């Protein structure tokens, strides 16, 4: 079940990436519901996903804190 939540989180983040404010809000919600090892995995995925989307880079601070 937890893995399904991780995949769902990635899907949601991809769908809302057009709006940086919404992206940050969804990222915040997902960090509260994922397991610690999933947060690390999400951080790796986010680095790749936001590499060519500089408007989303500031949301990465949520993962680091």
Going by pLDDT thresholds of 50, 70 and 90, the confidence category of residue 64 is confident
Nearby residues of 14 by Cβ (< 8 Å), 6 or more positions away? 49
The answer to whether residues 30 and 36 touch, using CB atoms and an 8 Å cutoff, is no
pLDDT tens-digit series, residues 14-62 = 999 999 999 999 999 999 999 999 999 999 999 999 999 999 988 888 8
57: helix, strand or coil = helix
**pTM: predicted TM-score of the whole model, two decimal places:** 0.88
pLDDT at residue 3, as a whole number = 84
């Amino acid at each position: 079940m937890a893995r399904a939540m991780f995949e769902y989180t990635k899907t949601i983040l991809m769908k809302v990436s057009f709006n940086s404010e919404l992206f940050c809000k969804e990222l915040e919600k997902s960090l509260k519901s994922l397991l610690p090892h999933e947060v690390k995995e999400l951080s790796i995925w986010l680095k790749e996903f936001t590499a060519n989307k500089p408007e989303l880079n500031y949301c990465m601070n949520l993962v680091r804190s």
